[in-house]
Amino acid sequence: MDDKKIFLWDRDQLHQLFRGRRGQEFLQRNNYETVEKLFQALISEKSHWSEYIIGVSGVGKTTFALQLWAQEITKKNILDILTSKSNKVIFITCEVEDNIAQNAAHITLLHIDSKRLELQKIWRDDDIRGWLSATSFGRKPGTTAQATTDDSITIARLKTDYEQKSRIIVYKSKDPTNRQEKEIIPFSDLSDDIKYSKQWVVCTSGNFSPKHIAHGRQLQEVQNLAVEKKIPSFVILWKSPWKDYDVGFTLEERIEIMKLDICWSLQYLSQGIPKFIKDTEGKVIKIIPQESLVILGKDRLPIWFTQWSYEEIKNTYPDFFSSKKKAGVVKKFEWYNFVRADDVFLEWSEDIPLSSTFIRKALIEGHTESVSPYLTPNVLAFLTQPHNLQALQRRYALIQERNQKIEERLDELNREYKQRHPITLQPLQTKKWEPAFLSKRDANACDNRRDQAKIMTYLQSVERLSSSEEKKIKKHYAKLISAQKLNFEK
């Protein structure tokens, strides 16, 4: 490294640096709408690139960069970094991003064993709580607890695509504070066996909250094709927060319920459509989406649909894409080929569609007999255990209580703000625009620009306060709701 200034370019730090109203105003003033656009702005400046550091969450990428070379960015120096050709930058990400890696001079992957990583995360959280962490950047303790500790896909990608300029630093000590005992290995010294191969896959997606027999048919088709063709398979479970109208199920619970019937090596993912995946033997596969299949239920595809590509669906059923709810999943898999799962014919009332929402509602109300035709024996026996039924019903009661608290608090907040900051509108408009019922539509309909500005300022202030209060209430109840756990012990 030479004497030129070197700066750390990290998404986490940028998000903390530009959070809040003033941060957003700074970005907009300099023609960057979001932090991501600011991050990408420097990527396009090839002359700035020097180092690229990769590693799973909690491995110590920021500490490594700060101890060796880099300076933290600030609002004062950030524009100089973007415009000056003499400064160098160290990029930091958790996974390989090709638009950075392709032009980086050197790539370093930090690696430690999973036991040390878990201990390191605990120590780091303690430092954040005690304001002792120089790399916290306003982070909250526990944010890396659920992050993956597996970097095998990253290793395969670096070996295959960026072997000559990549190295791996392996920390040997079990002590999280010991960064001296390490081994530096060029990727050229690693075996070619870890390189990825390209292959097509079969998959499906849904909420499965919980899995019913129609879902089972859908999953069975994925399994059959994966076994027949000897290809990797996976399920995308979309992340969903606690439902406002019932209990929902956490991601972990949905997976465990699916495993009550599905005993094969199906991979459960929740981070969007993957580009890489592992096969049953642990080999890394780069997915060929144009040759891959996604099997979806009839509610996710147009009527009379059997098997087509995204473009064929778009050209044949243009009206289907007018519904965001129906077309949303199809758009996510636009590079895949689509197959409609076989229908499951059951005797049920047309007024009661087979759905996970119907099943959850029936369980909450104690109508276990009404859901028995739609669940497999294993799932039915699990969900109707007295402990689990009580847990679901307690969750439902807490969610209703939470929503009532939010509604009451927001009404109270609106009245308090109105009293402290009354709005004086033009005489002829006072009756029409009463502050308690103001909306953006009212502002747009207002002829007087001053009154329009008053309404918007009022709405923005109340919205900020309301959002803050709502988050506090939800955070409080999230702990109470998550404490109502289902019992998976046999």
CA separation (Å) from 304 to 203, 299, 351? 21, 11, 22
State pLDDT tens for residues 422-464. Answer: 666 555 444 444 444 455 555 565 666 676 677 777 777 777 7
The proportion of the chain whose per-residue pLDDT surpasses 70, expressed as a percent, equals 79
Between 323 and 296, the higher pLDDT residue: 296
Between 124 and 26, the higher pLDDT residue: 26
State pLDDT tens for residues 50-73. Answer: 789 999 988 888 888 877 666 777
pLDDT of residue 301: 81
pLDDT of residue 431: 44
Between 105 and 262, the higher pLDDT residue: 105
Average pLDDT over the chain, rounded to an integer: 81
pLDDT of residue 336: 93
pLDDT of residue 2: 46
pLDDT of residue 26: 81
| Domains present along the chain, CATH in parentheses | 6-194 (no CATH), 197-340 (3.40.50), 398-482 (no CATH)
pLDDT greater than 70 at residue 374: yes
The proportion of the chain whose per-residue pLDDT surpasses 90, expressed as a percent, equals 26
pLDDT greater than 60 at residue 112: yes
Pairwise CA distance, residues 186 & 184, whole Å: 7
Pairwise CA distance, residues 162 & 104, whole Å: 10
pLDDT of residue 69: 66
CB 204 within 8 A of CB 235: yes
For the stretch 292-322, what's the b/e string if a residue is b when 16 or more beta carbons lie within 10 angstroms of its beta carbon?
A: bbbbbbeebbbeebeebebeebbeebeebee
Residue 101 pLDDT level (bands cut at 50, 70, 90): very high
pLDDT greater than 90 at residue 34: no
In this structure, the number of other CB atoms found within 10 A of the CB of residue 6 comes to 18
Sign, CA dihedral 386-387-390-392, equals: negative
Residue 21 pLDDT level (bands cut at 50, 70, 90): confident
Indicate the length of the chain as a whole number.
Answer: 490
pLDDT greater than 70 at residue 153: yes
pLDDT greater than 90 at residue 143: no
State pLDDT tens for residues 214-264. Answer: 888 888 889 888 988 889 999 998 876 545 556 778 888 998 999 888 756
pTM: 0.79
pLDDT of residue 317: 84
Average pLDDT in the 301-319 region? 81
Tell whether omega for the bond before 274 is within 30 degrees of 0, i.e. cis: no
CA separation (Å) from 257 to 38, 251, 279, 377? 42, 10, 23, 12
Between 423 and 34, the higher pLDDT residue: 34
- CA 341 to chain CA centroid, Å, is 27
Most confident of 142-151, 199-208, 264-273, 305-314: 199-208
